[in-house]
Every structure is written in structure tokens, then in C-alpha cells.
Structure 1
Amino acid sequence: MANGSRQAAWEFFGTELKRRREDAGLTQSALGTRVFVSGGYVGQFEQAIRKPQLDVAQRIDEVLQTGGFFERMCRKLIDDKRYADYFAAVVELEALATRICEFAPTLIPGLLQTAEYARAVTIAANPFVTDEYVEEKVTARLERSRILKDAARPEYWVVVHENVLYIPVGGPAVMAAQLDHVARLMRERHVLVMVLPYEAGAHAAMGAMLTLMDFEDAPPTAYTETSFSGTLLDEPAVVKRAQRAYDLIRGAAMSPETSLALVESAAEDYRRCASTT
């Protein structure tokens, strides 16, 4: 389903939710109480600003006695094969976040990737797929990065391990362009990037990518990912532990100024290497 038609379908979901809620004589707050979300959330569902999780859609069906209508529609709409099942909800939340903080131990974060870098990562993980599959994944990743160009873009903090600068994904030319892209975003103050140096040794999130998201009117969430799976966390005590881990990592990182100099130096090294091959 194309992005435009998907949004239109979510708008239809919201219109139907409002109609059936009003037919049942319930306010947004009353429905929210019964399905364990705020009335403001229900309003955002109805305006297609926020997409309900599947369990919320199931509870809406129970309260409004709609015979599974909202569950079926939600399942169809969230079945977005551009993203792994465990990541689709994260993409929706990124677009709503007021602040995103990421730690990347091995790869440039997806929101900062160039097309060539994303293509190399996709092919490395899926060496037998078609070109169409690769381009679909690359396009989806680039679409996510549009939130950084928006006037209401989230505050975006990134800590990358020094590994990330020296793993030659796609070869020297791709890496030079990728690091130039990161440096440009840093200089334009669209993102604040810091490098966790090798000298820092062990750190608080060994081996795992970590993302923290804050929202205007909802509790913060955390997301962790390894090579084959990811977990979205919203239990307050667990999110608090993830926030503390990120604070420890950020405290051990280089300053933004030193990090920018290192990113630019690595880009130049790759550029020289590319010119001699």
C-alpha cells in the first residue's frame, strides 16, 4: 500500500471510530477510560495523528461492539512489509516524538543513513533478494529521515561508538559520502552527534542499539535492538533504566566539537582511499 493511500486508510479508521463512538453515546474521555488510554489519545486516533496499537483496537471493538472491525483494519494497516514486524511501531512513534536519543554500536543510525549506505547494509543482510526488495527497503529508510527536515523536527541526540566510523560499509566512497552527510547535519545543527571512543572501554549498553523517545503528551518509551529482533519498552521502571544507561554512555563520549572533527577526519581518510582505488 502506498504511503498516501495508507494515510487515507488511517483517516477512514479515525472517521469510523468517531462515528461509532458518538453512536454509542461516549465522549472521547469515556471511551479512553474503558480502553485504558487518555481521551486525548482517542482524539488523536480519530484525527489519524496517532495510530492505535493492536491491543487498543481490540479493546475498542469490545467496548463499541463492532465485531472486530477495528482489529481487522488495524492488522491490515500495520502489516507494512517495508519494516520488520518488531520495528513498525517504532517508525510510527518516531514521527510523533519531541526528542529522540540513540546509541549505535556498529552502524550509522537509520535516520542518518544515505541511500548508498542503506543499500549496502540491506544487501549484506539479504544477499539473495531482488533489486526491487532492496530499493523498497532503502526508500522506506529514507522516508523515515524526512522527520529531520521538518520544521517541527524532534530534538535528535546520537552517540555512535567509534566502531561505526571505521567499519567500511559499502567501501571507501560510500563511507566518505555517508560521513560527510553526518557532518553536514551536525554543522547545520539538525542533530547532535557524539562519538564513544575505544578508550571508554566497557559501556552501559554493550552490543545493543538503544533508542529513547519523548513525547508531548505521552510517557517516554525505549527501544532496543540486536541483529535479529527488537523490543519496544514502555514500562516506566524499565524505561528509566534505559535512560540511565544512555546517560552513562553520553557521559563517556567525546564532546560534540571533538566528535565532529573525528567524523570529518574519517571522511577525508575514506576519500583519499577511494581516490587511489
Structure 2
Amino acid sequence: MANGSRQAAWEFFGAELKRRREDAGLTQMELGSRVFVSGGYIGQFEQAIRKPQLDVAQRIDEILQTEGFFERTWRKLIDDKRYAEYFAEVVELERTATKISTFAPTLVPGLLQTSAYTRAVMLAGNPFASDDSIEEKVEARRERARVLDGTTPPEYWAILHEHVLRIPVGGSAAMAEQLDHVVSLARRRKVLVQTLPYAVGAYPLMGRMVQLMEFAEAPPTAYTEAVYSGSLLDDPALVKRVQGAYDLLRAAALPPEASLALIESAAEDHRRCASTT
């Protein structure tokens, strides 16, 4: 679904929510209190500024007695079978974000991955998957990455732990290519990259992947992952705490130029390994 038609569909979702809420004789605040969000959030859903999470859409159906209409519409708009259910909404939010800030403790972030790197990650987690299935996942990730090449790309800031640079995902040659790609994006000012060297020792969000997203007309959100699960956080107080931890990571990380030098050095190390095998 193209971005324009997707937005039109969300506007329809919002218009229907407003119509059915008013038919039920509820104010935005009254509906919000019953589905455990603020009245302001209901207003943002109705204006298609913000998209509700699945559990909120389900609670709206329950309160407005709409027989699953909003859940079905949500699934049609957000569910993409190429992504895990817990991640599909994040992909949707990336398309409208004005700023994305990511901390990667173990893997190169998806938006920065090469096809070879993605393929190796997918095969490691799905050793019995067919080639077609793996390639579908690789293409989905390539499609996600195109957000950085759009007419109004988000400001993208990534902090990579040195651990990310050293693991030869896909082999030494593929890893060298991956790190060259990250450097190229940074040199072309598509992204801003910092590295967190081993020497830092303990650090905030120890071992936790986190992604913060900001929007032109909606509150910021934070996303973090665990094993085969993810959490999209939008409680303002909690998002503020995550932002504070991310700021501490920025302070501990190497400056951008020193970070690129470390990435380039790691790429050369992988290239040397590739040439001797």
C-alpha cells in the first residue's frame, strides 16, 4: 500500500472512530478513560495523527460494541506478514517519524543493513526456511531502509556498541561490506553514527536494543525488544526515562569522526581475515 493510500485509510479509520464515538454519546475524554488512554490520544487517532496499538483498537471495539471493526481495520492497515506481529507497527511508525534514534548492542540496525548481512541473520534464525522465504524477508528489510532515501527522510542517529563491529555476520567479506555501507551512509550525511567502545565498560540500557521515534504532530515513542517479543512504549514518563538513558549513551560514545575511524578499522580487520581464508 502506497503511503498516500495508507494515510487515506487511516483518515477513514479516524473518521469512523469519531462517528461511532459520537453515536455512543461519548466525549473523547470519556472514551479515552475507558480504553486506558488520554482523551488527547483519542483526538489524535480521529485526526489520523497517531495510530492506536492493537490492544487499544480491541478495547475500542469492546466499548463501542463495533463487533471487531477497528481490530480488523487495524490488522489490514498494519499487519504485514513479512514482519513479526510485535514489530509491524514499528515499521508503520518509521514511515512517519521525523527523527529516529537507535542503540544497537549486538546487531547492525535493520535500516542500515546490507542484503548479505540481513540474509545471514535470517538464515541463522530460520535454518530450515526456504530460499524464497528468506529472500522475502531480505526484501522487506530493504524496503524498510528506503525510508532513509525518501524526499523527507527522518533524522537518523545510531549508536553501535563495538561488539556489533566485531562479529563477522555472514563471514568476514560480508561484514567488511556491511561496515563500509554504514560508513558510506554517514559520509553522505544520511545518518549520524557513534560507537560505544569496549573500554566504556558498563553502560545504560546494558544489552538492550532501543529505538526512539519522534513525530511532527504526535508524542514520541520508544521501542525495545526481548526474545521473540517487543514493546512499543508511549507513556510520556517512560519514554522520557528511555530518552535520558539514550542521552547518557551519547555522552559515553565516541564522537562521530572517531566512531567512523573505529568502524573503518574494524572493516579492514574483516577484510584481512577474508583475504587469508
Same fold (TM over 0.5): yes
Matching of residue 252 in structure 1 with residue 257 in structure 2: no
Q: Distance in 2 between matches of 1:92 and 1:242?
A: 21
- Quick check: 2:160–2:195 contact (8 Å CA) kept in 1? yes
- Quick check: 1:223–1:232 contact (8 Å CA) kept in 2? yes
After superposition, residues 21-60 of structure 1 pair within 5 angstroms as 34=31, 36=39, 37-44=41-48, 51-58=51-58
Q: Distance in 1 between matches of 2:108 and 2:20?
A: 49
Q: Distance in 2 between matches of 1:195 and 1:187?
A: 15
Q: Partner amino acid for 2:142?
A: L
Q: Distance in 2 between matches of 1:240 and 1:203?
A: 18
Identify the range of structure 1 (63-72 vs 100-109) with the bigger mean alpha-carbon deviation.
63-72
Structure 2 match to 1:273: 273
Identify the range of structure 1 (64-73 vs 110-119) with the bigger mean alpha-carbon deviation.
64-73
Aligned-pair CA distance for 1:67: 3.6
Structure 2 match to 1:128: 128
Identify the range of structure 1 (194-203 vs 208-217) with the bigger mean alpha-carbon deviation.
208-217
Structure 2 CA distance for partners of 1:244 and 1:177, relative to 1, 3 Å: same
1:174-225 CA-partner distances (Å, limit 9, x unpaired): 0111011000001011111001010100001111101111111111111111
Structure 2 match to 1:223: 223
After superposition, residues 153-168 of structure 1 pair within 5 angstroms as 153-168=153-168
Identify the range of structure 1 (159-168 vs 123-132) with the bigger mean alpha-carbon deviation.
123-132
- Quick check: 1:10–1:51 contact (8 Å CA) kept in 2? no
After superposition, residues 118-267 of structure 1 pair within 5 angstroms as 118-267=118-267
Q: Partner amino acid for 2:276?
A: T
Structure 2 CA distance for partners of 1:15 and 1:239, relative to 1, 3 Å: closer
1:131-172 CA-partner distances (Å, limit 9, x unpaired): 122111111111111111112111111110001110000001
Q: Distance in 2 between matches of 1:16 and 1:159?
A: 36
1:24-72 CA-partner distances (Å, limit 9, x unpaired): 878xxx6687454254542327xxxx54433444465567764432322
- Quick check: 2:7–2:48 contact (8 Å CA) kept in 1? no
When the two chains are superposed, the root-mean-square deviation of aligned CA atoms in Å is 2.8
Q: Distance in 1 between matches of 2:57 and 2:207?
A: 35
3-state DSSP class of the match of 1:273?
helix
- Quick check: 1:33–1:39 contact (8 Å CA) kept in 2? no
Q: Partner amino acid for 2:47?
A: G
**Matched residue pairs, number?**
268
Q: Distance in 2 between matches of 1:67 and 1:227?
A: 33
3-state DSSP class of the match of 1:176?
helix
Identify the range of structure 1 (230-239 vs 266-275) with the bigger mean alpha-carbon deviation.
266-275
Q: Distance in 1 between matches of 2:127 and 2:17?
A: 47
- Quick check: 2:13–2:46 contact (8 Å CA) kept in 1? no
- Quick check: 1:162–1:196 contact (8 Å CA) kept in 2? yes
Gaps of 5+ in 2: 33-38
3-state DSSP class of the match of 1:193?
strand
| TM-score, normalised by the number of residues in structure 1 | 0.85
Structure 2 CA distance for partners of 1:241 and 1:228, relative to 1, 3 Å: same
Structure 2 match to 1:18: 15
3-state DSSP class of the match of 2:224?
strand
Gaps of 5+ in 1: none
Aligned-pair CA distance for 1:226: 2.8
- Quick check: 1:86–1:231 contact (8 Å CA) kept in 2? yes
Q: Partner amino acid for 2:170?
A: G
1:219-261 CA-partner distances (Å, limit 9, x unpaired): 1111111343211111122111111111111111101000111
